[in-house]
Amino acid sequence: MKTVTGTVISNKMLKTVVVEETRLVAHPTYHKRTRKNTKYHAHDELGVKVGDVVELVACRPISKTKAWKVKGVVKAYGAT
């Protein structure tokens, strides 16, 4: 199964969170590394908060935009 790690940027929906994945991609010609962001809608049964770093796992489509589930919290926001 495919997994993605990202930061929760919104939890205003019922049992749904928006997670943003940031990755570095090298330009094919100039080889400068730039940041690319991707937003995922994910099903949340754990009750994660904004700022938490979470791991997502791909699943069957739950709704029109939701095809990911929150697997667990990697790092809670504010935790050292």
Q: What is the pLDDT of residue 51?
A: 97
Domain boundaries, the chain: 3-75
3-75: what fold? OB fold (Dihydrolipoamide Acetyltransferase, E2P) (2.40.50)
Spans of the chain, pLDDT less than 50 = none
Q: What is the pLDDT of residue 24?
A: 97
55 Cβ contact list (under 8 Å, min separation 6): 3, 4, 5, 70, 71, 72, 73, 74
Q: What is the pLDDT of residue 80?
A: 66
Q: What is the pLDDT of residue 11?
A: 97
User: What does pTM read for this prediction?
Assistant: 0.90
Cα–Cα distance for residue pair 8/5, rounded to 1 Å? 10
User: Cβ-count burial of 42 within 10 angstroms (0-12 exposed, 13-18 middle, 19+ buried)?
Assistant: buried
